[in-house]
Amino acid sequence: MEYRKLGESDLELSVITFGSWAAGGWMWGGTERSDAVDAIKASYDLGVTSIDTAPVYGQGLSEEIVGEAIKGLPRDKVQILTKYGMRWDLEKGSLAFKSKNNDGQDIDIYKYAGKESIIEECESSLRRLGTDYIDLYQIHWPDVTTPIEESMEAVQRLIEQGKVRYAGVCNYDAEQMKTAESAIRLASNQVPYSMVNRGIEEVVVPYCLANKKAVLAYSPLERGLLTGKIKPGHHFQEGDHRAQHKYFSEDNVKRVNVFLDKLRPMALDKGASLGQLVLRWTIEKPGITVALVGARNAEQAVQNAKAVDVKLSAEELSFISRELLAIGI
């Protein structure tokens, strides 16, 4: 495994970081808890020491699964990344969207990052995770109803109390990061990034490079689309959000598969899967610190971790860029 520093902090993350949204089952058609625990443990055995989660993933279930998986591991050898600011149990802030929990019950998800709410959320996360500190605490989405400075001051208090080591943000633009830094020193920004979703290259990545902030890329496999396993006509399980997502429209799935067919010979030559090739490409991109990758069982976790063994030359990276341009991505 390879490790990289998180901005100017002394926190090092594994370049393949375990993303545990799918582990919580919510919006992914359910989960098998024991499989999710095994996936995290299998990742750790291969050097994936960093785990990203959030309270809203499974409405606490994902954090509980992470806590179960790391129980008994040396705490200083594991980096726990979690979030705040998405409430399903409090009607405050702005309504993000309506959803259903893992039991099929209707729930409303709110974006809210008021000071006292953050303090409360942190205590709940610590309890579910079975730890007394969080390595990286990140606001999940911007909250337009609360001043950014108020949210960051709450996290600063948690840092002073030793409950949080470093502060990060998710889904922030450069201006929002600047505002946050008037109240706290940020270590990172977690944003969506993949071969087919590269919007952050325009402003966010240059800003983070110039200001020495880490970029945590989530959905690098574009929710499984870039593994090559999603074909036109694919049927998703009940409750799987991908069925309605724009990237999984019939036309887009066809277009992406044309591109992936161009990469298959390269992957085959390296003895790698398409997913592994895509992950290596992701962590080779300038400004990208780590790739957050989900897995629902040990087999998937092992395949993700082994992406670090893939090597890409400058010529191969250029070839991939040309093929992306050729299909208009």
Is residue 234, in this structure, part of any structural domain at all?
no
Q: Domain total for the chain? A: 1
Segment holding 118, helix H or strand E: helix 115-129
- Residue 9's φ and ψ, nearest 5 degrees, are -80, 175
The catalytically annotated residue of 3, 44, 57, 193 is: 57
Rounded CA gap, 182 and 148, in Å?
9
Q: List the pLDDT tens digit at each of the 329 positions of the chain.
A: 999 999 999 999 999 999 988 776 555 455 578 888 999 999 999 999 999 999 999 899 999 999 999 999 999 999 999 999 999 999 999 999 888 887 888 899 999 999 999 999 999 999 999 999 999 999 999 999 999 999 999 999 999 999 999 999 999 999 999 999 999 999 999 999 999 999 999 999 999 999 999 999 999 998 888 988 877 766 667 667 676 667 777 778 888 888 999 999 999 999 999 999 999 999 999 999 999 998 889 999 999 999 999 999 999 999 999 998 887 76
Is residue 23, in this structure, part of any structural domain at all?
yes
Is residue 250, in this structure, part of any structural domain at all?
no
CATH number at residue 57: 3.20.20.100
**DSSP three-state, residue 17:** strand
Rounded CA gap, 8 and 53, in Å?
22
Is residue 320, in this structure, part of any structural domain at all?
no
Segment holding 43, helix H or strand E: helix 33-45
Is residue 266, in this structure, part of any structural domain at all?
no
Is residue 270, in this structure, part of any structural domain at all?
no
Residue 76 belongs to domain spanning: 3-225+275-310
Is residue 193, in this structure, part of any structural domain at all?
yes
- For the CA atoms of the chain, what is the radius of gyration? 19
Q: Is 57 a catalytic residue?
A: yes
**DSSP three-state, residue 144:** coil
Closest CA to 302 of 48, 65, 33, 49: 48
- Residue 269's φ and ψ, nearest 5 degrees, are -60, -30
pLDDT of residue 260: 93
Rounded CA gap, 35 and 313, in Å?
35
Is residue 109, in this structure, part of any structural domain at all?
yes
**DSSP three-state, residue 261:** helix
